Amino acid sequence: MAGRHRLALAAFAATGILATMAAAPATAEVSGPDVSSWQHIDGRGIDWHAVRASGNHFAMVKATEGLSYVNPYFVPDSLLMRAAGVARGTYHYARPALAPEPQAAMYAAVVLGQNGMLDLPPVLDMEDSGGLSPAALIDWTHRYLNTVQALTGRTPIIYTYPNFWRTAMADSPEFHRYPLWIADYRGNEGPEVPGGWPAWTFWQYTDSGRIPGIAAGTDINVYSGAQGDFARFANMPSFGSS
């Protein structure tokens, strides 16, 4: 019985992916929310078909934090968003007071890779210095990113805020090979880009957006095109794995 249910779910997900993503316009603005347990008010689920129908092509989902936290909604969100044809990014909230390699290993084990259909690259969420000096935090970040790339086979994305990067990371220019996801809510035409990055890849331009299918307010992000065609970047069905 359980095996038949899993096969039925897989068939349903594949049908939804191919039907919805094939219809996505290549030149339209590519946008999407990022969600965690906070968007599941009173345990309510997210209607990912409504999210996709409202024009959102991707979503970033919190997977893990530190060495002990796993988002309890990560697995159902991952399954349902794939069924709806929403490309999936997943992120780890860094706790630099703890060693980076075990955090990277836990994240990679929970997300079961980031190289399948509709998978964006893995994301490291950098908002907490853990009390480390900039030099120590820069070293910590290199070690985490190297480990995650070795485990997932993809170049990770870095998420941060301009002020955090300028201060906690001493505005380091050492990470340009990693795509940048930057949070900047000032309402400008574009975000402030720290660290001398040549371009931003995702911009989180609000932390109080509303999207059909999500009961709570949510961050909303837009893709710049810096990594080329979004379909290829997100391993959409017509391109296979990157």
| Domain extent at residue 62 | 2-21+30-233
**Residue 242 domain flag:** no
- Among the residue ranges 7-16, 161-170, 185-194, the one predicted with the least confidence is 7-16
- The answer to whether residue 125 is catalytic is yes
What is residue 28's predicted lDDT score, i.e. its pLDDT?
Answer: 52
**Residue 238 domain flag:** no
CA 222 vs CA 48, 66, 111, 186, 225: distances in Å: 18, 27, 23, 15, 9
Query: Once rounded to an integer, what is the mean pLDDT over residues 59-85?
Result: 97
Catalytic residue, candidates 34, 77, 119, 219 = 34
Q: For residue 84, what is the domain's CATH number?
A: 3.20.20.80
**Residue 55 domain flag:** yes
**Residue 182 domain flag:** yes
**What letters, b where the CB count within 10 A reaches 16 and e where it falls short, cover 141-169?**
beebbebbbebbebebbbbbbbeebeebb
Catalytic residue, candidates 65, 77, 119, 125 = 125
Query: Once rounded to an integer, what is the mean pLDDT over residues 32-50?
Result: 96
CA angle centred on 128, ends 124 and 131, rounded to 5°: 130
- The answer to whether residue 119 is catalytic is no
- On whether the CB atoms of residues 166 and 196 are closer than 8 A, the answer is no
**Residue 102 domain flag:** yes
Burial class of residue 238 in the structure, from the number of CB atoms within 10 Å of its CB (0-12 exposed, 13-18 middle, 19+ buried)? exposed
- The answer to whether residue 65 is catalytic is no
What is the pLDDT of the chain when averaged over all its residues?
A: 89
Say how many domains are in the chain. Answer: 1
What is the value of pTM for the model shown? Answer: 0.87
Residue 68 — left, alpha, or beta (φ > 0 → left; ψ -120 to 50 → alpha)? alpha
**Residue 214 domain flag:** yes
Catalytic residue, candidates 127, 174, 207, 229 = 127
Checking if the pLDDT of 105 tops 50, the result is yes
What is residue 238's predicted lDDT score, i.e. its pLDDT?
Answer: 63
**Residue 241 domain flag:** no
**Residue 79 domain flag:** yes
